[in-house]
Amino acid sequence: MPTVLILGATSDMAVAIAKKFASKGYSIQLAARNGSDLQSMQSDIAIRYQVPCSVHAFDAVRFDTHALFFEQLQPKPDVTICVFGYLGENDRARIDWQEASRIIHTNYTGAVSILNIISNHYALRKSGVIAGISSVAGERGRQSNYIYGSAKAGFTAYLSGLRNKLVKENVHVLTVLPGFAYTRMTEGLKLPKPLTAQPAEIGEAVYTAIQRKTNIIWVRWMWRWIMLIIKLVPEAIFKNLKL
Ligand SMILES: NC(=O)c1ccc[n+]([C@@H]2O[C@H](COP(=O)([O-])OP(=O)(O)OC[C@H]3O[C@@H](n4cnc5c(N)ncnc54)[C@H](OP(=O)(O)O)[C@@H]3O)[C@@H](O)[C@H]2O)c1
């Protein structure tokens, strides 16, 4: 029975992804800052899908704990899905370094720290899958969220390089660009319905992409073309847009 590790397992997206993999017979390892938040999810998954489900303490910004976290994980996962992230507030982050560094470290540095460790393990054993939930916000910096966007841009570039580095080692790397999604992160925001995915849709898309060894997915197809157009707008025009 293959095992999937979900990093950032309290997120709505992670719950949907975990349930999708459990429904396909995977053992589930749920990792989050506060394990007690995962107790009911753990028993729900174990009972509903009849698969082993374990809970592990993991904090993305406590870099010095990452090596031991992975060392203690038994069995080692076949698939690792990096879901954690932090949107934060751009205006606050411009004046408050705590907020800026939390955005950068959660979305970028923390992901690099744990995925370096896990990808080195996969490279040695010559198998494994890594999926990272990045964001279209990283495709071009916008005034409303460029600190989050730049951290996600770094994460997207990291995943691209990792895929390129590890293809020879039989390790597959998937980049997920969800577009908008209805989750705790976007609670209270007015999102355009046709462009906004439900967590279950993301769970399906991630599972299918991993089976097909797809490299990059835009969960709702329109996003691929929207971002292409956004990237083609000349900088002289782009800098005057309110985005
Ligand atoms: N929602 C969207 O529209 C959207 C769009 C594009 C990309 N994304 C990305 O999708 C991913 C999932 O987000 P979501 O929308 O499902 O939002 P969410 O429910 O707010 O999930 C964020 C998750 O990250 C975890 N997290 C934050 N800081 C952490 C840390 N230091 N260590 C470990 N875990 C930490 C949170 O855990 P706690 O419960 O402990 O806070 C939570 O599980 C994120 O990477 C986000 O950037 C979201």
Average pLDDT of the segment spanning 111-125: 98
Residue nearest to atom 39 of ligand 1 (CA): 10
Average pLDDT of the segment spanning 27-55: 94
Q: Is residue 132 left, alpha or beta, with left meaning phi > 0 and alpha meaning psi from -120 to 50? A: beta
Domain assignment of residue 243, yes or no: no
Domain assignment of residue 189, yes or no: yes
Residue nearest to atom 45 of ligand 1 (CA): 85
User: Ligand 1: does its nearest atom lie under 6 Å from the Cβ of 203?
Assistant: no
pTM of the complete model beyond 0.85: yes
Query: Ligand 1 mean position to 222 CA, how many Å?
Result: 23
Predicted local distance difference test score (pLDDT) of residue 189: 87
Query: Ligand 1 mean position to 76 CA, how many Å?
Result: 23
**Which 3-state string (H, E, C) describes 206-235?**
HHHHHHHCCCEEECCCHHHHHHHHHHHCCH
Domain assignment of residue 25, yes or no: yes
pLDDT tens string 46-79: 999 999 999 999 999 999 999 999 999 999 999 9
In the chain, the number of structural domains is: 1
Query: Ligand 1 mean position to 37 CA, how many Å?
Result: 14
Domain assignment of residue 166, yes or no: yes
Amino acid at 144: S
Q: Which residues of 197-206 are buried (b: 16+ CB within 10 A; e: fewer)?
A: bebebbbbbb
User: Ligand 1: does its nearest atom lie under 6 Å from the Cβ of 59?
Assistant: yes
User: Ligand 1: does its nearest atom lie under 6 Å from the Cβ of 84?
Assistant: yes
Structural domain of 135: 3-238
Query: Ligand 1 mean position to 201 CA, how many Å?
Result: 16
CATH number of the domain encompassing residue 31: 3.40.50.720
